[in-house]
Amino acid sequence: MPLPLSGITILSLEQFGAGPFGTVHLADLGARVIKIEDPNSGGDVGRYVPPYSHEEDSLFFETFNRNKESISLDLSSPSGRATFEDLVKQSDAVYSNLRGDVPAKLKITYEDLKHLNPAIVCCSLSGFGMTGPRSKEPGYDYMLQGLAGWMSLTGEPDGPPTKSGLSLVDFSGGFVAALALISGIHASRRDGVGMDCDVSLYDTALSMTSYIGSWHLSGDHEPIRHSHSAHPSLVPFQVFQTTDYWIVIGCAKEKFYERLCQVINRPDLATNPDYINFANRYENRDALVTELEDIFKTRTTKEWLIDLMAAGVPCSPVNTIEQAFQEEHTIAREMIAHSDHEYFGKLRTPASPVNVGPKRTEYSRAPKRGEHTVSVLKDLLDLTEEQIAVLKSSGAFGSPDD
C-alpha cells in the first residue's frame, strides 16, 4: 500500500526549525516535499547549526529534513522565478516559514499564484502572522514563550521565569502548519479552489495556554507557579524526590489517589476530610504535599515504581534523554528513525508520532543542498539536459560560475 500522503507535492521555502519540523512529518507520511534553497545564501541555515555539523550538513538539519528533496533556485532571477512558477503548476502547495510580510514580497501568496494553478494552497508559518501590528517582526520560540505567558508559568515559585527545555512553540507551530496545509489541500481537491493558510507561532503559543487561558479570561484566574512542577489544580500531580532521584506521580482520578494511599501505607490520608476529594486536596495542597515529600524520600525511584505500577497508580521516572530512548516502549513503538549518512554514519533521529496507514519502513537522509535540482526538473517539468543547462547558464540556480 502507498503511504497516506503519496501523490501530494509540496514546494517548501523553509529553514531552521519550525517550518521543516512541520513538513518532516508530511514527508514521513509520503508527501513529496521539495525544499527550494536559495543558492546565494547557502541554503537552509539549519545546515550549519553546531555542535554536530560538517560542511553543509548537521545533525540538527538531519532531524528536520529526512525524506525530502532539495533544489537550488534563485527566485530573484527571471529564469529562476519562471522555473518556480512552472513547478507551482505541477504542485499541490507552496509552504514557507518566513517573516509574516515576506510571502507577499516574494509573491508566493495565493493571490500571486492562483493564475498559474487555481488549486494551489499557499501556507505561511511565521512568527506573528501575515496581519497585525507585529507581522513584519521576526518571531522566535524563546521570545514567544515569554510573550505568550508560558515562562511566567514555568519554574520554581522563587526562581526566575523559565522556558521549556525544548522549542515547544516552534514544534507546535510546525504541527499546526502541517494540519492547516493538509486541510487546505483537502478543501482544494474537493472544491478546485486553493487558498492562503496564515499560521503564526504567536497564535499557536496563545492557543496552547488552553484551560489556563480560559480560567483567566472567563474566571479572572491569576496563575501562579507551584513547586516541583506541580499541576495547577490536581493534587498530588508533580515530581517527588526519592532517595536517589525523582519520580512523577499523577493522581488525575480519585481512584488513583486512593491507590496511592494504599501503596505508601497511609490509608488515613484517603479518609482525612482535608484530603477526601479533589477540591479539598486543592485547598490543603501544601500540608498534603509536605507529608508525601517525606514519605517518598524513604525509598529509591525504582522501588517506588515497582509498587506504584503494580497498584495502577500513574507514575514515571524522570528520565534523562539517554534513558528515554532506551525505554522498552520507545523501541516497541518504533520511535527511532534509522538512515545512513556518508559522514555521520548510522543516523538515528526521533521518528514521527503521526501513525496512520502503513508504517514507513525506510528513511532517507536529509538532502544535500541542490541535490535533486536536475531530477525534479526532469520529473515534474519534463526538461531535457539541454534545457536545464540553459537555465543554469542564465542564473536560475545561482551564479553560473558556482
DSSP state of 164: -
- 399 in a structural domain: no
**What is the average pLDDT across 270-289?**
97
Band of the pLDDT at 122, cuts 50, 70, 90? very high
Asked whether residue 294 carries a pLDDT value surpassing 70, the answer given is: yes
* Average pLDDT along the chain: 97
- For residue 58, which of 389, 343, 380 has the smallest C-alpha distance? 343
Asked whether residue 359 carries a pLDDT value surpassing 90, the answer given is: no
338: annotated active-site residue: no
- 323 in a structural domain: no
Same domain, yes or no: 152 and 284: no
Same domain, yes or no: 307 and 166: no
Give the CA count within 13 Å in the CB-facing half-sphere of 210: 4
Q: How far apart are CA 45 and CA 61, in angstroms?
A: 9
What is the per-residue pLDDT for 400?
81
**What is the average pLDDT across 243-266?**
98
Cβ-contact 376, 71 below 8 angstroms:
yes
- 371 in a structural domain: yes
Same domain, yes or no: 352 and 264: no
36-81 confidence digits (pLDDT tens): 999 999 999 999 999 999 999 999 999 999 999 999 999 999 999 9
Asked whether residue 401 carries a pLDDT value surpassing 80, the answer given is: no
- 324 in a structural domain: no
- The percent of residues in the chain predicted with pLDDT above 90, rounded, is 97
- 286 in a structural domain: yes
317 has which bridge partners? 247
**What is the average pLDDT across 137-142?**
96
What is the per-residue pLDDT for 402?
64
Same domain, yes or no: 52 and 138: yes
What is the per-residue pLDDT for 220?
86
Q: Strands (DSSP E) along 260-371, which ranges?
A: 315-317, 336-341, 345-350
Asked whether residue 196 carries a pLDDT value surpassing 70, the answer given is: yes
Band of the pLDDT at 399, cuts 50, 70, 90? confident
- 2 in a structural domain: no
- 215 in a structural domain: no
- 337 in a structural domain: yes
Which structural domain, as residue segments, surrounds residue 279? 227-241+246-317
Asked whether residue 20 carries a pLDDT value surpassing 90, the answer given is: yes
CATH number at residue 251: 3.30.1540.10
Q: Which of 257, 289, 317 is the last residue of a domain?
A: 317
CATH number at residue 102: 3.40.50.10540
69 has which bridge partners? 34
Same domain, yes or no: 284 and 358: no
Asked whether residue 210 carries a pLDDT value surpassing 90, the answer given is: yes
Task: Check 216, 221, 228, 231 and give the catalytic one.
Answer: 231
pTM: 0.95
Same domain, yes or no: 63 and 120: yes
CA distances (Å), origin 43, targets 21, 99, 251, 342, 388: 16, 17, 48, 20, 20
Same domain, yes or no: 342 and 306: no
Q: Which residues contact 213 (CB under 8 A, 6 or more apart)?
A: 206
| Number of domains making up the chain | 2
